[in-house]
Amino acid sequence: MYSSLNSKSQDVNGAARRPHTDHSFIPPCQAKCPLQMDIREYVDLAAQGKVMEALQVIRSGNPFPSICAHVCTHPCEEACRRTQVDSPVSIRALKRFAVEFGGDRMVLAEAETTRPEKVAIVGSGPGGLACAYYLRKLGYPVTIFEAHAEMGGMLRVGIPQYRLPRAVVDTEVQRLISMGAEIRTNTRVMSLDLLFDMGYKAVFVTIGAHQGLRMGIEGEESPGVLDGATLLREVNLGLKPSLGQRVVVVGGGNVAIDAARTALRLGIPSVDILYRRSRKEMPADETEIKEALEEGVNIQYLVAPVNIKRANGDLCVTCVRMELGEPDARGRRQPVPIEGSEFTMKVDTLVSAIGQAPQMPGGFGIRIGRGSTIQVDPLTLTTNRLGVFAGGDAVTGPATVVEALAAGRQAAHRIDDYLQHKYPRPVSTNQPVMTGELDQQTIELVRKIGRFEPLYLPVEDRTRDFKPVESVFDWESAVNEARRCLRCGVGAEILFQDKCASCLNCVRVCPYHVPYIDMAGTIIIPPDQCQACGICVAECPARAIVMRKPRERRHIADELDHIVKTAAQSKARPLLIGFLCQYGLFGTGTLAGLWRSGKAGIWIVPVLCTSKVEAHHMLRPFEMGVEGVFVAGCGEQCSRENTDHWVQQRIHKVRKLLAQIGIEPERLQAFVSDKNDGRRLREELERFTEQVSSLCLASILKQEVRN
Amino acid sequence: MIVAEAKNLTEIGKTIAPYGRILVLGCGTCVTVCGAGGEREVALLHDALRLMDMKAGNGKHVFLECTLKRQCDPEFLDVLEEKAANVDAVLSLGCGIGVQAVAERLPDLPVLPGVNTSFLGMAKEWGVWDERCAACGDCRLDETAGICPITRCTKGILNGPCAGTKNGRCEVSKEMDCAWVLIYQRLENMRQLETMRRYYPPRNFRAIPRPKRVLSKINAAGGGHE
Ligand SMILES: Cc1cc2nc3c(=O)[nH]c(=O)nc-3n(C[C@H](O)[C@H](O)[C@H](O)COP(=O)(O)OP(=O)(O)OC[C@H]3O[C@@H](n4cnc5c(N)ncnc54)[C@H](O)[C@@H]3O)c2cc1C
Ligand code: SF4
C-alpha cells in the first residue's frame, strides 16, 4: 500500500496540525534594503547555480536590477550578519552574477493600459523611471519629462561610465518604452499648472539634487573653479572639458571620488582630493576610496581650502590644515583649523564636490524645507499641492539609487490610491525582523570562509579610458560566495511543543550548540543563532522540530515523490535514485552530465544539504522498486559542519533495516564529491552501478534456484 | 527513564503475520527519548514493514500509525477507541508497561510488542544509553555513594569489590568500570570511607511479593474521578 509521501503522519488527536504557515523571519539584509528585496532567497538560488530563478526573485523586488547590480551602495551588506563571522556576503556582486548569467537583458517587459488617468513624471532619474515602471504595471498611461537630452538622471549624467556602462541604462529605458511609457527629453518643466492643463491627473516630481553647493570662500567664482556634478555631467554627455595638468577636488563623498577618478581618465597627470576630516570620517564608499588610491589619486586628509586666487595663469589655492575637535551633537568630530598652518597650492582646476541641493523652478508652487528639499508626507509622498507627489534626491537631498527606486515604487502605489480614491494603507507585514547578534560561541563554531570577490581590471588598464572596472563573478566563485550566506531567520523551530519529549537530541546534535535548556527546563532554539542546517529536524525522535519555511519542510518528500513517479516509467536498468546536494560542485553545473551519461537509469532528488535527508527518505525508493539508493554530499566544499557524519549515521540505521528485510545493505551508499571536477564521484558511481547490477543478477538467480 | 531497543524486523514480521490491519502505536515519553518508539520510529517502522511486505510479495497488511503522549496512563488511551476501531492487531512501540496498558484497554485485540524493554537508565551521550537502576524496591544508594552496585556491578554483589577488580576495571570486561572502585573513590572524596567497613546482609528476594504496588492514598470518601 502506498500513500502519498507527505500525508503520512497523523495528529494524535485526529485534529489537523497547526496550519502550515511560514514562521521565518525577515533577515537583516532584507530589512535594511530600501526595496526590501528577498536577498536571502536569491542568494540561496545563486548558491545552487539557479540563475534564472534567482533573477526571477530579484526582478520581483527591483524594477531595474541591472542598475543596482552595478552601483547599489548595498546597505544590505552592512547589515549582513556574516560580518560577525568573517566578512559580509558580496550581495551586490551576486546580484550582478544573477542578472548577467540569468539573462536579464532578454527579459521582456509588457504592460497594458487599463486606466484612463494620465500621470506626469518630472525627471527621469531612478526615482522617475521606477515610478513610471510601476504605474505602467498598474495600467496608467505615463509621460516622463526630462530636461536633458538623455534619460536616466544621475545614472546618465552623474555616475561615471566605468562604474555604470551606458548600455545598462539604455536597456532599461528601452524596456520602459516598450512598456508604453511616453518619453519627452529636452523638456524642462517650469510649471505644474501646465501639466494639469494638459490633462494629467497626478504629477510625480523627482528632479534630483543637481545644484552644487558653494564652498563659501573667497575667489570661488574664479575661472577654473567648477562643481563636481557639472564636471561629471559634461564628461558623461561626451564633452571633453580642458582641465589643465593639475586638478584638485574638494570633498569626501562619492561625487568627489568619482570626479577625481574621472579626471584621471581624462589624462590629467596630477589629481588630489582635499578632505577636511580624516579617512575614518570619509563618507565615500570604502571600496571606491581604495580604487581611487590604487589608480593614483592623492588624498590629503585634514585639509580645507580657505581662499582661491588667479595669478599668472595659475589657480592659487590657499589651504589650512585641520585637527579633529570635540564631537558634535551627531557624534561627528568637528574639524578645527590649526593656526598658522596655511599653505598654498598651484593648480589648473579646482573641482568642488561638497554636496548638491535640489533646484526647483519657482513655478512648481510646492513647499520646500531645509536644504531646498521638497517637503512631503513620508507615508504618502504627497506635497502641499493636491495631486502632486515627490520623491528621490529632491526630497531626501543627495542619497542613493536604491532609495530613489524605493521612493518611485512607493509613489506609484500612492498615486494609484489617490486616483482611485483609496485610503492609503501602510504596508504592514507581521513577519518579524531578525535582530540580534550572533553569540561568541556560534561565531566560533561557524566555518570561516573568506569572501570571494569578482575580478577587477588591473590598475594600469583602468585610467586609460572609461572601461568598466569591475567584472562579473565567474560561475564557481559566485556559487561559492553565495554559499557563505548564513540563511538568517529560516532555521529550525520546535513547532509542536506538545510533542517535545525534552529528549535533548537537538541539544546534543547541533554542531553550533544553538538549542539550550532554559531555567524552567524547556528546550529553546534561539532563531537568531540557528544556522538552518536541519540536522536536529531530521534527528528529533518526536518530529516536533521543523524548518521555519513550509516549503523547506516538504522539500525532499515532494521532490522524491515527483522523481519516483517519473522514474517508474523509465525502462533503463538498474534504476538508481540519488539524493544530491545542490550546492558546491553541483551548483556549478560541473556534474550536470553525471547521471545522464551513465548507462543506468540514475534519477536525482535535489536536496539542499544532505544533512536534511532522513532515514525514511532513504528507505522509500526501495519500496518503489528502485534497485539502489545513494546520498552524495558536497564534501570538502560544505559550508556547514558535520553533515557527512549524520548522513553516515542514518545510512547505518537504514542498512540494518534493509538487511533484516532481506535486501542487500550495499544497495545504499554515501558518496562525497571531490573538490575539482567530480571525476572521483563519477567513478564511484559507476562502480556502484555495476555492483547493483550484479546484485540484481544474483538475486534473480537465487529466486530461480528457489523456484 | 525506561530504555528500550527496536526489535528485529524479522521477529516483528512473524508476530504480525496472522493479522491484516495493524495499528503501529508509538509512545511520546520514554521510548521517544531513547529513540526506540517515538513518532519518527513509528513512521520508519511503518515504511520498513511495508517494504518487507512488498519484498515478500504479499501486500496483505495495511498499516496505520499513531503516537500517544504516554501509553502507560489510562486517560491517554481514550483515543484508541477510534484509532483501534477497525484494526486486527496493535503493534505497540511502548515499553512493556505500555503494551500491557494498551492490552488492558483493548480486551479483544492482540497487542504485540515492537520493542524490547531493556532497562532503567540514562543517556551517556547522543546514541549511548547505560543501565542505572534495577527497580529493586529497596534503595540503598545512600550507603553506596549514589552508585548502584546491583546494576553497575556485573555480579550485583552488595559487599564489593570482589577479587576480580583490576586497575579500576571489572574482570568481566576491560571496558567496564568496577562499580565498587567507583563507590570507593566517591566515598573517599566525600570522606566517608568508613561506610565501606560495614557488612550488608544478603537480601531476601523472596520476601518481596510480586506484583508490587505503590499506594499513596488512603481509602476515604470523595476525591478524584471514579
Ligand atoms: C557622481 C555621482 C555618483 C553617484 N554614485 C552613486 C552610486 O554609486 N550608488 C548610488 O546608489 N547612488 C549614487 N549616486 C546618487 C544617485 O545617483 C542619486 O541618489 C539618484 O540618481 C537620485 O535619483 P532621482 O531620481 O531622485 O534624481 P536624479 O537621478 O538626479 O534625476 C533627476 C532628473 O530630473 C531632471 N530634472 C530636473 N529638473 C527638471 C525639470 N524641471 N524638468 C524636467 N526634468 C528635470 C534632471 O535632469 C535629472 O535627469 C551618485 C550621484 C552622483 C552625483
Ligand atoms: S548571512 Fe545571508 S541572510 Fe544573513 S544577512 Fe547575510 S545575506 Fe542576509
Ligand 2 proximity of A89 Cβ (cutoff 6 Å):
yes
Q: From atom 5 of ligand 2, which residue's Cα is the shortest distance away?
A: A80
Do A584 and A672 lie in a common domain? yes
User: From the CA of A615, how far away is ligand 2's center (Å)?
Assistant: 30
Alpha helices in A569-624 (DSSP H): 584-587, 594-597, 615-623
Instruction: Print burial letters for A211-241: b (CB count within 10 Å at least 16), e (below 16).
Output: bbbebebebeeeebbbbbbbbbbebbeeeee
pLDDT at residue A427, rounded to an integer: 66
Cis before residue A88, ω within 30 degrees of 0?
A: no
pLDDT at residue B215, rounded to an integer: 79
Do A389 and A502 lie in a common domain? no
Do A496 and A538 lie in a common domain? yes
CA-nearest residue to A502 within chain B is: B33
Cα angle A582, A588, A592; round to 5: 75
Beta-strand pair A118-122/A200-205: parallel
Ligand 1 proximity of A524 Cβ (cutoff 6 Å):
no
Complex prediction ipTM: 0.91
Of chain A, the percentage scoring pLDDT greater than 70 comes to 93
- Please name the member of B34, B35, B44 whose beta carbon is closest to the beta carbon of A619: B44
Provide the 3-class DSSP secondary structure of residue A347: strand
Ligand 1 proximity of A195 Cβ (cutoff 6 Å):
no
End-to-end CA distance of chain B: 29
DSSP letters, A158-184, are TS-TTTS-HHHHHHHHHHHHHTT-EEE
Distance CA A485, CA A492 (A): 16
Parts of chain B belonging to CATH 3.40.50.2300:
2-119
| Residue B225 pLDDT class (50, 70, 90 cuts) | low
Which residues of chain A make contact with B10, given a CB cutoff of 8 A?
Answer: 660
Closest CA to B28 of A509, A541, A13, A517: A541
- Please name the member of B32, B43, B48 whose beta carbon is closest to the beta carbon of A501: B32
Q: From atom 39 of ligand 1, which residue's Cα is the shortest distance away?
A: A207
Instruction: Print burial letters for A389-426: b (CB count within 10 Å at least 16), e (below 16).
Output: bbbbbbbbebbbbbbbbbbbbbbbbbbbebbeeeebee
Do A99 and A234 lie in a common domain? no
Distance CA A362, CA B48 (A): 81
Distance CA A400, CA A78 (A): 15
- Reported as a single tens digit per residue, the pLDDT across A402-416 is 999 999 999 999 999
Beta bridge partners of A629: A577, A668
Ligand 1 proximity of A361 Cβ (cutoff 6 Å):
yes
Residue A93 exposed, middle or buried by CB count within 10 Å (0-12, 13-18, 19+): buried
User: From the CA of A255, how far away is ligand 2's center (Å)?
Assistant: 29
**Residue A78 grid coordinates:** 552592512
- The residue to which cell 523551530 is assigned: A493
- Reported as a single tens digit per residue, the pLDDT across B147-185 is 999 999 999 898 989 999 999 999 999 889 999 999 999
DSSP letters, B134-180, are ---SS--TTTTTT--HHHHSTT--SS---TT-BTTB-SS-TTSBPHH
What is chain A's length?
A: 707
User: From the CA of B36, how far away is ligand 1's center (Å)?
Assistant: 66
- Side chain identity at residue A305, one-letter code: P
Do A233 and A307 lie in a common domain? yes
- The residue to which cell 563573478 is assigned: A473
Q: From atom 30 of ligand 1, which residue's Cα is the shortest distance away?
A: A208
Which of A539, A660, A663 to mutate to test binding with chain B, by most B CBs within 10 Å of its CB?
A660
Is residue A34 within 8 Å of residue A402, measured between CB atoms?
yes
User: From the CA of A526, how far away is ligand 2's center (Å)?
Assistant: 17
Alpha helices in A362-431 (DSSP H): 393-396, 401-419
Do A92 and A133 lie in a common domain? no
- Residues A26-44, mean pLDDT to the nearest whole number: 96
User: From the CA of A437, how far away is ligand 2's center (Å)?
Assistant: 12
- Please name the member of A13, A543, A663 whose beta carbon is closest to the beta carbon of B40: A543
pLDDT at residue B226, rounded to an integer: 53
Q: Ligand 2 pocket test: pick from A25, A30, A43 the residue with the most ligand atoms within 8 Å of its Cβ.
A: A43
Query: In this model, does residue A531 exceed pLDDT 60?
Result: yes
pLDDT at residue A21, rounded to an integer: 84
Q: Name the strand (E) or helix (H) holding A603.
A: strand A601-607
* Four-point Cα dihedral A170, A173, A178, A184, nearest 10: -120
CATH number of the domain where residue A196 is located? 3.50.50.60
Ligand 2 proximity of A29 Cβ (cutoff 6 Å):
yes
What's this model's pTM, rounded to 2 decimal places? 0.89
- Reported as a single tens digit per residue, the pLDDT across A61-91 is 999 999 999 999 999 999 999 999 999 999 9
Beta-strand pair A118-122/A142-145: parallel
How many CB atoms lie under 10 A from the CB of residue A529?
Answer: 23
- Reported as a single tens digit per residue, the pLDDT across A289-307 is 999 999 999 999 999 999 9
CA-nearest residue to B127 within chain A is: A505
Which residues of chain A make contact with B75, given a CB cutoff of 8 A?
Answer: none
Do A618 and A669 lie in a common domain? yes
Distance CA A456, CA A468 (A): 9
pLDDT at residue A4, rounded to an integer: 34
pLDDT at residue A1, rounded to an integer: 32
Residue B54 touches chain A, beta carbons under 8 Å: yes
State chain B's mean pLDDT as an integer. Answer: 91
Beta bridge partners of A679: none
The last residue of a domain, from among A528, A548, A568? A548
Distance CA A652, CA A320 (A): 75
* Four-point Cα dihedral B189, B195, B200, B206, nearest 10: -60
| Residue A327 pLDDT class (50, 70, 90 cuts) | confident
| Residue A139 pLDDT class (50, 70, 90 cuts) | very high
Residue B3 touches chain A, beta carbons under 8 Å: no
Q: Name the strand (E) or helix (H) holding A546.
A: strand A545-547
A503 with B28: Cβ contact below 8 A: no
Distance CA A233, CA A223 (A): 18
- Reported as a single tens digit per residue, the pLDDT across B74-86 is 999 999 999 999 9
Query: In this model, does residue A162 exceed pLDDT 50?
Result: yes
A661 with B126: Cβ contact below 8 A: no
Residue A433 lies in a domain: no
Query: In this model, does residue A400 exceed pLDDT 60?
Result: yes
CA distance, residue B29 to nearest chain A CA (Å)? 6
pLDDT at residue A10, rounded to an integer: 35
State chain A's mean pLDDT as an integer. Answer: 90
- Side chain identity at residue A559, one-letter code: E
Looking at residue A316, the DSSP 8-state letter turns out to be: E
pLDDT at residue B50, rounded to an integer: 94
Q: In what order do the strands lie in the sheet with A388-390?
A: A182-184, A142-145, A118-122, A200-205, A388-390
Do A341 and A229 lie in a common domain? yes
Is residue A223 within 8 Å of residue A206, measured between CB atoms?
no
Of chain A, the percentage scoring pLDDT greater than 90 comes to 70
> Which one has a higher pLDDT value, A1 or A230?
A230
**Residue A483 grid coordinates:** 554559499
CA distance, residue B12 to nearest chain A CA (Å)? 10
A541 with B65: Cβ contact below 8 A: no
Residue A621 exposed, middle or buried by CB count within 10 Å (0-12, 13-18, 19+): buried
Greatest Cα pair distance in chain A: 113
pLDDT at residue A8, rounded to an integer: 33
User: From the CA of A401, how far away is ligand 1's center (Å)?
Assistant: 8
Ligand 1 proximity of A122 Cβ (cutoff 6 Å):
yes
Do A571 and A686 lie in a common domain? yes
Query: Which superfamily does B2-119 belong to?
Result: Response regulator (3.40.50.2300)
User: From the CA of A636, how far away is ligand 2's center (Å)?
Assistant: 22
Number of domains chain A contains: 5
pLDDT at residue A551, rounded to an integer: 86
Closest CA to A389 of A363, A416, A370: A416
Closest CA to A681 of A669, A689, A692, A673: A673
pLDDT at residue B199, rounded to an integer: 86
Do A582 and A675 lie in a common domain? yes
Alpha helices in chain B (DSSP H): 9-16, 30-33, 39-56, 80-83, 96-105, 149-152, 179-189
Ligand 1 proximity of A255 Cβ (cutoff 6 Å):
yes
Residue A72 lies in a domain: yes
Distance CA A35, CA A278 (A): 32
Is residue A338 within 8 Å of residue A304, measured between CB atoms?
no
Do A444 and A518 lie in a common domain? no
- The residue to which cell 583490576 is assigned: B166
Is residue A300 within 8 Å of residue A274, measured between CB atoms?
yes
**Residue A119 grid coordinates:** 500621470
Residue B16 exposed, middle or buried by CB count within 10 Å (0-12, 13-18, 19+): buried
- Residues A104-127, mean pLDDT to the nearest whole number: 94
Is residue B41 within 8 Å of residue B6, measured between CB atoms?
yes
Residue B38 touches chain A, beta carbons under 8 Å: yes
- Reported as a single tens digit per residue, the pLDDT across A615-674 is 999 999 998 888 899 998 887 778 888 888 999 999 999 999 999 999 999 999 998 776
| φ and ψ of B95, to 5 deg | -70, 180
Full residue range of the structural domain in which residue A294 is found: 211-356
| φ and ψ of A247, to 5 deg | -120, 135
Distance CA B51, CA B46 (A): 9
Of chain B, the percentage scoring pLDDT greater than 70 comes to 96
- Side chain identity at residue A193, one-letter code: D
Distance CA A151, CA A171 (A): 11
Distance CA B25, CA B42 (A): 7
Greatest Cα pair distance in chain B: 68
Residue A473 exposed, middle or buried by CB count within 10 Å (0-12, 13-18, 19+): buried
Is residue B163 within 8 Å of residue B150, measured between CB atoms?
no
> Measured between alpha carbons, how far is residue A503 from residues A403, A497, A521, B2 in Å?
49, 12, 11, 12
The last residue of a domain, from among A304, A322, A356? A356
pLDDT at residue A499, rounded to an integer: 93
Do A257 and A326 lie in a common domain? yes
**Residue B20 grid coordinates:** 491484516
Ligand 1 proximity of A151 Cβ (cutoff 6 Å):
no
Beta bridge partners of A579: A605, A631
pLDDT at residue A109, rounded to an integer: 86
Residue B117 touches chain A, beta carbons under 8 Å: no
Q: Which of A3-7, A526-530, B62-66, B145-149 has the lowest mean pLDDT?
A: A3-7
Ligand 1 proximity of A254 Cβ (cutoff 6 Å):
yes
Query: In this model, does residue A11 exceed pLDDT 50?
Result: no
- Side chain identity at residue B218, one-letter code: I
Residue A463 lies in a domain: yes
The last residue of a domain, from among A548, A567, A592? A548
Residue A502 touches chain B, beta carbons under 8 Å: yes
Residue A7 lies in a domain: no
CA distance, residue A547 to nearest chain B CA (Å)? 16
Closest CA to B62 of B26, B99, B19, B95: B19
